[in-house]
């Protein structure tokens, strides 16, 4: 399904949220926050970006307040430089509060806040996850590729909205 | 969700839809020659080098850097490191404004973290029942059955985050504390914003407690016995024995409630606590020195915070404490599921303390920092949401950190979590199959402690929970992975 399609139905430019999460003190786990920083620096209207170590249930309020949400996380496995997945609401229960998945957050946003944004998971491949406050060269290259793709798709969404 | 795959040998059953690698929990159940549960171990990845990571950094950076340790309780690490840095800065008492700002931040942190545990993790088990279908046993199922719970969960969490942002300037990586004090007071604007909501927050916490009690009263036997055992407890308490989650002396009690030690300053912790290393676990096993390795283990967290204190100095929480302690018939409450009840009482206490502080003019004071004569070592303790947290640093003449030792709440609860999982395995394991019910009960037991994955990464590809069943010679009989 094309991104521009559903957004073109909106009577206005879509409100887009980029939520990058991970621990910048753990090398490539900082890919999500790095994307949030890059997108946030664009300063485009109707585009919000923030980062956190992990998803939290109160993020549901922000998620519900947007038309499109991009969850951005580092990936220990999977294709390089990145993969994009559709995300659907799906509640889960974990054994620790240190885990909350995008699917569960979407379910909470829908149930508690009445918001059902279209959502994607951008999984950027990382390689090293030790206690170092810097991305590896491979992850840095993947970050640049992911940012280029994401800014392009966000621009396409915004261009597709009626003036 | 889980899946089943055939094993590679005649004695192995592997259930293995692998999705994650680190930041996970791993449970190993070992059988004896008779096929009975001999022991169960809960392994969890923890610091893996953080103590080396911080070496060489300037000591005043520590309160900020340590927030890297945890996505759920960075504020607890921030405050504990700050207290240790006070000691290094030669400051034994910060100003009233500084202490109250730190306390306000701490109560906001404990409130929102306990709310996350109770509403998101525990309430599906407790309000819908352990045996309810897993497809419904989640926060959405709870909200469908109890619509108000979703509102409580999100807005109590958000309020706690607002408190953190109001005190620390931002909800993520707040920067309130510096050695010897704080760098800002509470603005009147922020104070007035928080004042508007605190009454409602207290009321919601009370309603959540009543809802939880309705579960307990309809499942009294289960509540008392599930994954439970007598144990010792440890927490800090105030100078007069009252609950104090921010500062005080260490107090430990035995299973009958008799003191093992009390009034112990953090700087003397090594005289009372030994950290044992075992080859099969990344985690250390702290135990009380005077009781030895076998008997010296203890529990921390909300249950310990309630069991160790003599009273609570806020009225609603104190009334709730008295009702709660009646479960122990004059001694400590040992029910593992009572962690949740205790957690809710701590939430009420924190909300009441926040209300008190919001009407305390010291928070608008301008005397923020005290200086002193530099010391080479700083040790501090705080009651984090999951229990006692200790930070210990040494610093050289160039102000660089040369050593660090952290004992986090989950480490303190290490042996207790193993025992809870063992109890569940003994009660529920039948044959050589890791059933959905067994996996479910293991998770329920672990959720009571809400182990911290601390500085583990949260990257896609991590594995959340693996349960492995081994025979007496260590051969794998079955493995089941919770996705």
pLDDT for B15 equals 25
B290 Cα to chain A: minimum distance (Å): 32
Same domain for B424 and B363, yes or no, is no
Nearest CA among B159, B97, B114 for reference residue B317: B114
Verify whether the Cβ–Cβ distance A108 to B144 is below 8 Å: no
pLDDT for B401 equals 96
Same domain for B118 and B27, yes or no, is no
Nearest CA among B408, B372, B400 for reference residue B62: B400
When pLDDT is averaged across residues A104-127 and rounded to a whole number, the result is 92
pLDDT for B71 equals 66
**pTM to 2 decimal places:** 0.87
Nearest residue, CB atoms, B464 vs list A22, A76, A94: A94
Is the model more confident about B205 or about A115?
B205
Which positions in chain A touch B74 (Cβ < 8 Å)? 53
Verify whether the Cβ–Cβ distance A131 to B455 is below 8 Å: yes
When pLDDT is averaged across residues B175-179 and rounded to a whole number, the result is 94
pLDDT for B265 equals 97
Verify whether the Cβ–Cβ distance A98 to B72 is below 8 Å: yes
pLDDT for A5 equals 36
Distances (CA, A) of B55 to B49, B50, B393, B395, B473: 10, 9, 9, 9, 41
Chain A segment 60-79 residues within 8 A of B by beta carbon are 60-61, 73-78
Verify whether the Cβ–Cβ distance B458 to A51 is below 8 Å: no
Verify whether the Cβ–Cβ distance A96 to B154 is below 8 Å: no
Nearest 5°: phi and psi at B203? -65, -45
Verify whether the Cβ–Cβ distance A97 to B113 is below 8 Å: yes
Same domain for B43 and B173, yes or no, is no
A158 Cα to chain B: minimum distance (Å): 29
Lowest mean pLDDT across A89-93, B18-22, B230-234, B476-480: B18-22
Q: Cα B46 to chain center, whole Å?
A: 14
Domain containing B180 equals 94-228+335-369
pLDDT band at A154 (very low <50, low <70, confident <90, very high): very high
Q: Is residue B385 part of a domain?
A: no
Lowest mean pLDDT across A75-79, B226-230, B334-338: A75-79
Task: Produce one character per residue of B394-412: b if its CB has 16 or more CB atoms within 10 Å, e if not.
Answer: bbeeeeebeebebbbbbbb
pLDDT band at B43 (very low <50, low <70, confident <90, very high): confident
ipTM of model: 0.73
Same domain for B218 and B340, yes or no, is yes
Nearest CA among A56, A33, A103, A96 for reference residue B454: A96
Query: Is the pLDDT reported for residue B295 higher than 60?
Result: yes
Query: Is the pLDDT reported for residue B435 higher than 50?
Result: yes
Given a contact cutoff of 8 angstroms between Cβ atoms, the answer to whether A47 and A16 are in contact is yes
Q: Is residue B293 part of a domain?
A: no
Same domain for B19 and B164, yes or no, is no
Chain B segment 80-109 residues within 8 A of A by beta carbon are none
Give the tens place of pLDDT for each residue, A15-35. 999 999 988 888 899 999 999
- In the block, tokens 């159940």 appear at B29
Structure tokens at A30: 């900082």
Is B424 in CB contact (< 8 Å) with chain A? no
Given a contact cutoff of 8 angstroms between Cβ atoms, the answer to whether B334 and B230 are in contact is yes
Same domain for B342 and B217, yes or no, is yes
Nearest CA among B122, B116, B38, B118 for reference residue B472: B38
Chain A segment 33-62 residues within 8 A of B by beta carbon are 50-54, 56-58, 60-61
A39 Cα to chain B: minimum distance (Å): 18
- Provide the 8-state DSSP code for A13: P
Highest mean pLDDT among A97-111, B126-140, B316-330: B316-330
Highest mean pLDDT among A6-15, B134-143, B147-156: B147-156
Same domain for B30 and B150, yes or no, is no
pLDDT band at A4 (very low <50, low <70, confident <90, very high): very low
Verify whether the Cβ–Cβ distance A53 to B48 is below 8 Å: no
Verify whether the Cβ–Cβ distance B458 to A54 is below 8 Å: yes
* Domain end residue (candidates: B343, B369, B395): B369
Query: Is the pLDDT reported for residue B55 higher than 60?
Result: yes
Neighbour count for residue B427 (Cβ, 10 Å) = 14
CA gap B388, B378 in Å, rounded: 17
SS3 B63: helix
pLDDT for B317 equals 98
Q: Is residue B75 part of a domain?
A: no
Structure tokens at B308: 């160790």
Nearest residue, CB atoms, A52 vs list B71, B120, B154: B71
* Domain end residue (candidates: B314, B344, B369): B369
SS3 B4: coil
Same domain for B350 and B418, yes or no, is no
Verify whether the Cβ–Cβ distance A56 to B116 is below 8 Å: yes
Nearest residue, CB atoms, B154 vs list A22, A29, A112: A112
CA gap B176, B67 in Å, rounded: 12
CB pairs under 8 A between A and B: 157
Which positions in chain A touch B158 (Cβ < 8 Å)? 58, 61
CA gap B104, B365 in Å, rounded: 14
Q: Write down the domain spans for chain A.
A: 14-160
Helix runs in B37-146, H state only: 50-53, 62-65, 74-88, 96-115, 123-128, 139-145
Most B CBs within 10 A among A93, A115, A123, A125, hence the mutation to make, goes to A93
Nearest residue, CB atoms, B461 vs list A24, A60, A75: A75
Q: What percent of chain B has pLDDT over 90?
A: 60
Q: Give the CATH number of the domain where residue B341 resides.
A: 1.10.645.10
Verify whether the Cβ–Cβ distance B455 to A23 is below 8 Å: yes
Verify whether the Cβ–Cβ distance A104 to B460 is below 8 Å: no
Q: Is residue B86 part of a domain?
A: no
pLDDT for B35 equals 85
CA gap A34, A31 in Å, rounded: 5
Same domain for B148 and B216, yes or no, is yes
Is the model more confident about B368 or about B284?
B368
Is B111 in CB contact (< 8 Å) with chain A? no
Q: Name the packing angle between helices B338-358 and B315-325 (round to 10°).
A: 160
A68 Cα to chain B: minimum distance (Å): 21
Structure tokens at B53: 């990571």
By CA distance, what is A77's nearest residue in B?
B461
Is the model more confident about B9 or about B216?
B216
CA gap A17, B77 in Å, rounded: 29
Nearest CA among A46, A38, A41 for reference residue A16: A46
Same domain for B418 and B343, yes or no, is no
Chain B segment 149-188 residues within 8 A of A by beta carbon are 150-151, 153-154, 157-158, 161, 172
pLDDT for A133 equals 84
CA gap B365, B377 in Å, rounded: 29
Domain count, chain B: 2
Is A22 in CB contact (< 8 Å) with chain B? yes
Domain A14-160 in this protein, CATH class: alpha beta
Q: What is the pairing mode between strands A82-87 and B387-395?
A: unpaired
Q: How many helices (H) and strands (E) does chain B have?
A: 17, 17
Query: How many residues in total does chain A contain?
Result: 163
CA gap B218, B223 in Å, rounded: 9
Query: Is the pLDDT reported for residue A90 higher than 50?
Result: yes
Is the model more confident about A87 or about A162?
A87
Verify whether the Cβ–Cβ distance A26 to B455 is below 8 Å: yes
pLDDT band at B9 (very low <50, low <70, confident <90, very high): very low
* Cβ within 8 Å of residue A115, ≥6 positions away: A60, A63, A64, A65, A66, A109
Same domain for B18 and B161, yes or no, is no
- Provide the 8-state DSSP code for A9: T
Distances (CA, A) of A35 to A140, A149, B369: 11, 11, 37
- The radius of gyration of chain A's CA atoms, rounded to the nearest angstrom, is 15
- The radius of gyration of chain B's CA atoms, rounded to the nearest angstrom, is 22
Nearest residue, CB atoms, A97 vs list B23, B120, B143: B120
Verify whether the Cβ–Cβ distance B459 to A129 is below 8 Å: yes
Which positions in chain B touch A56 (Cβ < 8 Å)? 116, 157
Query: Is the pLDDT reported for residue A36 higher than 80?
Result: yes
pLDDT band at B453 (very low <50, low <70, confident <90, very high): low
CA gap A83, A100 in Å, rounded: 20
Is B119 in CB contact (< 8 Å) with chain A? yes
Give the tens place of pLDDT for each residue, A120-133. 999 999 999 887 88
A76 Cα to chain B: minimum distance (Å): 5
When pLDDT is averaged across residues B264-293 and rounded to a whole number, the result is 88
- By the 10 Å C-beta count (0-12 exposed, 13-18 middle, 19+ buried), B21 is classed as middle
């Amino acid at each position: 399904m094309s991104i521009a399609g559903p957004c073109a139905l909106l009577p206005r430019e879509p409100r887009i949220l980029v939520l990058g999460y991970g621990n910048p003190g753990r090398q490539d786990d900082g890919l999500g926050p790095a994307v949030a920083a890059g997108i946030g620096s664009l300063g485009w209207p109707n585009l919000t970006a923030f980062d956190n170590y992990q998803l939290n249930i109160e993020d549901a309020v922000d998620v519900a307040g947007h038309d499109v949400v991009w969850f951005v996380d580092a990936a220990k496995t999977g294709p390089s430089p990145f993969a994009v997945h559709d995300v659907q609401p799906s509640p889960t229960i974990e054994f620790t509060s240190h885990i909350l998945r995008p699917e569960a957050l979407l379910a909470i946003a829908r149930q508690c806040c009445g918001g059902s944004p279209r959502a994607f998971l951008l999984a950027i491949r990382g390689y090293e996850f030790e206690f170092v406050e810097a991305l590896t060269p491979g992850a840095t290259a993947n970050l640049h590729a992911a940012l280029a793709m994401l800014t392009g798709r966000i621009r396409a969404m915004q261009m597709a909205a009626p003036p | 969700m889980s899946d089943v795959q055939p094993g590679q040998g005649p004695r192995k059953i592997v259930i293995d839809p692998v999705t994650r690698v680190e930041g996970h929990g791993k449970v190993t159940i070992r059988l004896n020659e008779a096929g009975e549960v001999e022991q169960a171990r809960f392994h969890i990845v923890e610091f893996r080098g953080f103590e080396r990571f911080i070496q060489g950094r300037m000591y005043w950076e520590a309160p900020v850097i340590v927030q890297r340790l945890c996505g759920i309780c960075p504020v607890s690490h921030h405050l504990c490191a700050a207290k240790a840095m006070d000691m290094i800065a030669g400051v034994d008492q910060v100003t009233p404004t500084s202490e109250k700002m730190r306390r306000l931040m701490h109560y906001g942190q404990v409130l929102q973290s306990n709310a996350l545990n109770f509403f998101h993790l525990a309430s599906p088990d407790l309000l819908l029942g352990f045996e309810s279908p897993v497809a419904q046993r989640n926060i959405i199922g709870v909200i469908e059955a109890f619509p108000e719970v979703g509102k409580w969960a999100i807005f109590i969490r958000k309020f706690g985050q607002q408190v953190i942002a109001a005190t620390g300037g931002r909800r993520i990586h707040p920067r309130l504390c510096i050695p010897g004090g704080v760098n800002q007071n509470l603005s009147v604007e922020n104070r007035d914003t928080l004042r508007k909501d605190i009454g409602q927050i207290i009321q919601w916490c009370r309603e959540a407690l009543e809802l939880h009690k309705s579960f307990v009263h309809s499942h009294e036997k289960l509540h008392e016995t599930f994954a439970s055992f007598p144990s010792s407890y440890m927490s800090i308490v105030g100078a007069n024995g009252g609950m104090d989650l921010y500062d005080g002396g260490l107090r430990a009690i035995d299973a009958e409630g008799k003191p093992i030690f009390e009034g112990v300053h953090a700087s003397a912790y090594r005289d009372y606590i030994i950290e044992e290393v075992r080859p099969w676990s990344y985690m250390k096993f702290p135990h009380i020195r005077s009781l030895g390795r076998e008997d010296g283990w203890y529990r921390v967290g909300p249950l310990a915070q309630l069991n160790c204190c003599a009273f609570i100095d806020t009225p609603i929480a104190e009334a709730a404490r008295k009702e709660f302690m009646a479960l122990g018939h004059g001694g400590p409450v040992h029910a593992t599921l009572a962690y949740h009840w205790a957690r809710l009482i701590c939430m009420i206490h924190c909300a009441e303390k926040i209300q008190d502080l919001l009407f305390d003019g010291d928070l608008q004071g301008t005397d923020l920092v005290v200086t002193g004569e530099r010391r080479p070592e700083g040790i501090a303790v705080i009651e984090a949401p999951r229990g006692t947290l200790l930070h210990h640093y040494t610093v050289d003449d160039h102000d660089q950190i040369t050593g660090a030792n952290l004992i986090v709440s989950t480490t303190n609860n290490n042996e207790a979590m193993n025992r809870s999982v063992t109890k569940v395995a003994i009660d529920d394991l039948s044959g050589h199959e890791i059933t959905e019910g067994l996996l479910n009960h293991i998770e329920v037991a672990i959720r009571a402690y809400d182990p911290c994955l601390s500085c583990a990464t949260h990257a896609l590809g991590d594995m959340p929970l693996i349960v492995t069943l081994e025979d007496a010679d260590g051969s794998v009989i079955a493995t089941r992975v919770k996705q």
